[in-house]
Amino acid sequence: MSTKSKPKPKPEDNHLLAALTPEVQGRLFPHLELVPLPLRAVLYESRKPMRHVYFPTDSIVSLQYLLANGTSTALSVVGNEGLLGITLFLGGENVSSRSLVQSAGYAYRLPRSKVKEEFNRHGQLLLLMLRYTQALITQVSQTAVCNRHHTIAQQLCRWLLLSMDRLPNSNHLTLTQEFISNMLGVRREGVTQAALKLQELGVIAYSRGLIKVLDRDQLESLACECYSVVKKETDLLLDYLPQRQVIKNVDEIPTAKLETQ
């Protein structure tokens, strides 16, 4: 999916940035840079220093753990509900996982120095980041449980639902079976069988890497309880966030080129 055809997103398209008070927005927004995130771009590499924190608007990024033999498995997905770079305010400079763009779009990023400066105020941004971290930990923990106890079909349903929740007003996902198998850490044949089953049931339509969800209600009924646990925690986060908006001319915010870490 090309990012060029999409209208320029606003910072408030990210729920965490939208929840900040006008005072905090006034300090941070002038330093935001709009970054296009192409499909499969790498934002962070494992054990490499972090230079920015990213706030997705209409993109989805998968956090993956990369094994020594080159295989990987996804730990969580991050979209417009959150951010990438929680390690920075937890006291670390490097990340232990790789951040890979799962669905192309945009994100706003802040330099590391500006994030730390705002964190050190011990104000609203720090509280929001801590609350978001709780939701992210829930997702990572539930992913571990799901990978151990549930079928590939159930894992696929969970992943599709989590991805849809993070794409505003869309039921289309650009995901190849190879990419899905890498995310789930399973054989491609297992993903193929699970996707065919969902097609036969009329839940999805799948063609050339494009997945269209036709029946979300049925998709939710086929998913395991892991999806509802994660969704509930994410909904608690969104309910917690005060929905504040600030009038901003987004054309004043520069568009930056993606610098892989």
User: What is the per-residue pLDDT across 4-56, written as a single tens digit (0 to 9) for each?
Assistant: 555 789 999 999 999 999 999 999 999 999 999 998 899 888 777 788 999 99
Element (H or E) spanning 61, and its range?
Answer: strand 60-66
Given a cut of 60, whether residue 250 has pLDDT beyond it is: no
- The CATH-assigned architecture of domain 151-223 is Orthogonal Bundle (1.10)
Confidence of residue 260 (pLDDT cuts 50, 70, 90): very low
Given a cut of 50, whether residue 256 has pLDDT beyond it is: yes
State how beta strands 98-103 and 60-66 pair.
Answer: antiparallel
65 vs 137, more confident: 137
Domain-wise residue ranges, the chain: 9-150+247-261, 151-223
Domains 9-150+247-261 and 151-223 share a fold: no
Among residues 233, 78, 222, 206, which one has the least CA distance to residue 152? 222
Q: What was the pLDDT predicted at 245?
A: 41
CATH number listed for the domain at residues 9-150+247-261: 2.60.120.10
Contact 103, 174 (CB under 8 A): yes
pLDDT tens string 195-216: 999 999 999 998 877 899 999 9
Q: What was the pLDDT predicted at 259?
A: 53
What are the tokens at 145?
A: 């449980």
Gap between the Cα atoms of 79 and 182, Å rounded: 19
Q: What was the pLDDT predicted at 46?
A: 73
Confidence of residue 122 (pLDDT cuts 50, 70, 90): confident
Contact 237, 135 (CB under 8 A): yes
Q: What was the pLDDT predicted at 258?
A: 58
pLDDT tens string 216-241: 999 999 999 999 999 998 888 877 67
203 vs 70, more confident: 203
